[in-house]
Every structure is written in structure tokens, then in C-alpha cells.
Structure 1
Amino acid sequence: MVLKAGIVLSVISIILLSIYGVDAIMTITENLGPQDTAFLHTDAKTRGMVFGLIPAILLILSFFITRKEPSKVLGILIIIGGALMVVGVGIIFALPNNNIPSAAKGEFGGVVGIGIAIMALGAIKIKKSR
């Protein structure tokens, strides 16, 4: 039962991160301001909290609530969630119209670090499943 809950949390996280990424990319490609959003109709800080921070917490939670349950599937889902965070930052910086203020660019380093830590948790989950 706990394993199913962990998988559901991971899938929800991946969906939220995907929505966040699509909105951020659309915002940049449509030349909206750095504080605007494309279709979520919230400010960037709220978008980051709801669609970035909450999924990260859910991924970490899914690892810890299932720490005694072996599951390669859950490990893979956790890695996918962490990778979405890391790759998402890379895509946002690679887009030519990113008007991200210099002060905000430092926050993205933290996002990359959290994404890498989450991917490590997924790798641990897979390793413990063998």
C-alpha cells in the first residue's frame, strides 16, 4: 500500500513539473516578462512554489515513505522527476529570449542541486531493489 502511494506521489510530481516546464518555456518563447506566466495565470513565485517546490517535496517524500520497500519502478520515477528539474533549468537557460534577472539565476543553481539530490535518491532506491 505504501509503495502504491509512493508511485502515485511520484507520478503527480512528474505531471506538475511537466506543467511548470511547459508554462515556463511558453512564457519565454512568447516574450512575456520574467514575472509572467503563459497559461497558469499566476506570478512566477507562486508557479515555482506550487509547480516546483511541492513536486520536489513529493518526490523526496515518496522515497522516504517507501524506504523499506524495494521498487525499481519507483526509483525510475524518482530519477525522472529529478531529471526534469535539472533538464528544465538547462532548457530555460538555453532559450534565446530568457530575460531572467541575474539575481534569479542563482536560485536555479539550487534547483539543479535539488534535482541531482533527488536523482541520487532514485538511484539508491533502484540499488536497494536488487
Structure 2
Amino acid sequence: MALKAAAMALTGIAIALLVLYGADVAVSMGNADKEGFLPLDDMQRGMGLGGPAIVLPIIAFFIAIREKSKGLGGLIIISGILILIGGIAMIATPAPEGVERSPIMLFAPAIIQLALGAIKIVKS
């Protein structure tokens, strides 16, 4: 039970980070300075908010691998959907000069999380 709660907390943190990431990007796109409400550039934002948001649900899945929890599976799927939405938004906007975006690198973490969430729900 404690493992399931810890895993759900980790996934909740990941979802909060993704929402914060998306909000900051939205604010930065809406102003002329291209700055969000957090004092971070694109790389810092991606590494500081996006990186943990990708890794935490995967860790949560393996922490609670023996625990049955449809709720955790749902949270992992929500995290994957948020990453998928972010990837679609990145493709829809033009890349800055000198930056190449790989669609596989944008969607692979989302697909992995969606699969892990589905496995968790099916096994519960």
C-alpha cells in the first residue's frame, strides 16, 4: 500500500511538472520577449521540468510493479498524454534556427508511458 501511494505521488509530481512546463511555454509564446514566468531558457526548462516528468512515471511503474492499481495506470496514461500533446505542439511550431527536432525523440517517451499505463491497468 505504501509503495502504491509513493508511486502515485511520483506520478502526480510528474503531471504537475508537465502542466507547469506547458504553462511556461504558453506564456513565453505569448509575449515578445519569448520569456515565460519562470527564469529558464528552453534547454533549462526541458531538462529541469521535462526530464523528471518523463522519468518519474517510469520509476513509479517499477516501484509499484507488484501492486494492483488502476489509478496509478491512469495517472501514467495522463502523463503520457500530456507529453504527447507537448510533442504535437512542438511540431506545430517552427523550430529556432540551428535546432532540429526529431519526432521519434518527442513521441517515444509518451508512447512508453502510455504502454506502461495500459499494462498497469490491464494487470490490475
TM-score between the two structures when normalised by the length of structure 2? 0.89
Aligned residues: percent identity?
36
- Equivalent pairs, count: 123
- Cα distance between partner residues in 2 of 1:104 and 1:28: 19
CA deviations 1:43-78 (Å, max 9, x no partner) are 211110111011111010000000000100000000
Which structure 2 residue ranges, 5 or more long, are not aligned? none
Alignment RMSD (CA, Å): 1.7
Q: CA separation in 2, counterparts of 1:62 and 1:31?
A: 39
Distance in 1, Cα, partners of 2:28 & 2:17: 16
Which one of the candidate residues 42, 63, 84 is aligned to 1:44?
42
Q: Is the 8 A contact 1:78 1:121 kept in 2?
A: yes
Unaligned runs of 5+ in 1: none
1:113 & 1:31 partners in 2: Cα distance? 32
CA distance in structure 2 between the aligned counterparts of 1:112 and 1:32, rounded to whole angstroms? 28
Corresponding residue to 1:114 among 109, 112, 123 = 109
TM-score normalised by length of structure 1: 0.85
